[in-house]
């Protein structure tokens, strides 16, 4: 039986802008309130509202997960939804439809309260600038993740230029790579483009970027209507297998630019890919926008 990973109770660092995170949490809280206030008069209504709650809650968990440098952390575990235990059910009592509806709404309201508690803590959280300057490796990795998390905002900001001058419009994966290559120059000196990975099962692939000094491989993907979540996951699993043979790198960071929101189960995809981590190569997945 696999051993469940325990949350890391050591200090974790916030790798997103505090004000942006707070604004997003406030938006999520209001969406939760809207769900809790919906009128439910049938089983179909109840199932629909509960499905909305699960999607809302899964998104919140991913929002908290991606806000920190360590995806498994105390704040995420504190927020996670945990189904309650019913004493009445133990003794065979069958709840009425309305009692079940109230139980569901109580669960939604409880998660809203937990999200509000997290909101209140955001101002106290440590950001990458709080990382000791001597910890160069941690600081560099945080900077890399920050580039990915700000990528969509940058892409939006440069769409229109003064006097209609030419700019980069993100239409495909090559556009993502080109803009990303420019952004990486801010923090990194030795950026190798399209390096070759060792052959694996008779095939090899091109690495999008290798940060030589930081020993990090960067893989870039842009979703579209023809690249289903299943196909994307399969491609990346194959790539991860190849990258594990790449010499002198400790981290693989996969950046998925999901501008069209084609990846519905973002949490599931991230978990499936990050489970491929080994002692030699840690896999980190960032999907933006989330």
Position 1 scores a pLDDT of 47
Position 13 scores a pLDDT of 85
Predicted confidence band of residue 104 (pLDDT cuts 50, 70, 90):
very high
Position 168 scores a pLDDT of 82
- pTM value? 0.58
Boundaries of every domain in the chain: 18-124, 131-288
Structure confidence by residue, pLDDT tens digits, 45-70: 999 999 999 999 999 999 999 888 88
Residue 1 to residues 76, 82, 168, 251, 276, Cα–Cα distance (Å): 24, 21, 50, 27, 18
| pLDDT beyond 80 at 131 | no
Predicted confidence band of residue 254 (pLDDT cuts 50, 70, 90):
very high
H-helix or E-strand spanning residue 195: strand 191-196
Give the residues across from 14 on adjacent strands.
Answer: 68
Structure confidence by residue, pLDDT tens digits, 211-253: 998 889 999 999 999 888 889 999 999 999 988 888 888 899 9
Give the residues across from 193 on adjacent strands.
Answer: 209
d(CA 126, CA 271): 25
């Amino acid at each position: 039986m696999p051993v469940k990973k325990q949350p890391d109770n050591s200090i974790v660092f916030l790798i997103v802008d505090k004000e942006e995170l707070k604004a997003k949490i406030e938006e999520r809280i209001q969406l939760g309130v809207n769900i809790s206030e919906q009128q439910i008069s049938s089983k179909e209504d109840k199932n629909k509202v509960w499905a909305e709650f699960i999607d809302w809650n899964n998104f919140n968990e991913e929002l908290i997960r991606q806000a920190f440098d360590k995806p498994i952390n105390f704040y995420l575990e504190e927020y996670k939804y945990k189904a309650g235990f019913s004493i009445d059910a133990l003794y065979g009592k069958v709840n009425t439809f309305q009692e079940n509806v109230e139980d569901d709404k109580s669960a939604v309201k409880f998660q809203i309260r937990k999200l509000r508690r997290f909101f209140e803590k955001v101002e106290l959280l440590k950001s990458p600038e709080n990382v000791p300057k001597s910890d160069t490796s941690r600081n560099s990795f945080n900077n890399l993740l920050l580039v990915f998390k700000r990528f969509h905002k940058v892409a939006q900001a440069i769409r229109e230029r003064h006097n209609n001058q030419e700019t980069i419009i993100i239409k495909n994966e090559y556009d993502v790579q080109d803009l990303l290559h420019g952004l990486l120059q801010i923090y990194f000196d030795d950026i190798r483009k399209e390096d070759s990975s060792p052959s694996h099962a008779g095939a090899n692939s091109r690495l999008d970027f290798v940060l030589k000094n930081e020993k990090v491989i960067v893989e870039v993907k842009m979703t579209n209507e023809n690249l289903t979540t299943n196909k994307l996951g399969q491609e990346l699993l194959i790539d991860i297998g190849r990258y594990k043979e790449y010499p002198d790198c400790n981290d693989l960071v996969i950046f998925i630019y999901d501008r069209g929101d084609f990846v519905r189960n973002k949490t599931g995809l991230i978990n499936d890919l990050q489970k491929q981590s080994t002692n030699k190569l840690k896999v980190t997945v960032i999907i933006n926008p989330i």
